[in-house]
Structure 1
Amino acid sequence: MIIDEEARKRSTGHELGCELSAISADELRHRISLLETEIDRIRAEIDRKEAGRKAADSLFGPRS
């Protein structure tokens, strides 16, 4: 049945502060994996932005 299949699908995300008691350990591990991947993506973007800032500072001097 389609409804049962939809209920079994994993969540595609995680809402900060959501209730965790009804979520299985496997699903919690899956959410941790998703969040760690997102953290890595955010850190990479921070590094990219900081490198751009350093390049600009080397050309134009630091901002006051």
Structure 2
Amino acid sequence: MTFFDDDRPAKKLAHEIGSDLSMLSVGDLDARIDLLREEIARLETDKQKKQAGRMAADNFFKK
């Protein structure tokens, strides 16, 4: 028996790759699609920053 579990905020929606989708509603699927699109955008932004940093370093050391 735990006394503190009721005071904790609810977990944010998460998606596990390959998880069973059969019990999800259309609304749940839409929410997961939105979540994954936001994560893809975040990953692409970070990738672009890293590529720019890599290009800057390559250009600096080519001199």
The TM-score with structure 1 as length reference comes to 0.77
Q: Structure 1: how far apart are the matches of 2:51 and 2:20? A: 36
Aligned length: 53
Q: Which deviations, in whole Å up to 9, do the C-alpha atoms of 1:33-62 show, x marking residues without a partner?
A: 00000000000000000000000011002x
Higher relative contact order (CA 8 A, sep 6+): 2
Q: Structure 1: how far apart are the matches of 2:11 and 2:55? A: 41
1:31 alignment partner, SS class: helix
Q: Provide the alpha-carbon RMSD of the alignment.
A: 1.7
After TM superposition, the runs of 4+ consecutive aligned structure 1 residues lying more than 6 A away are none
For 2:34, the equivalent position in structure 1 comes to 33
Gaps of 5+ in 2: 1-9
Alignment of 1:1-40 (within 5 A): 12-40=13-41
Retained in 2: the 8 A contact 1:14–1:31?
A: yes
For 1:5, the equivalent position in structure 2 comes to none
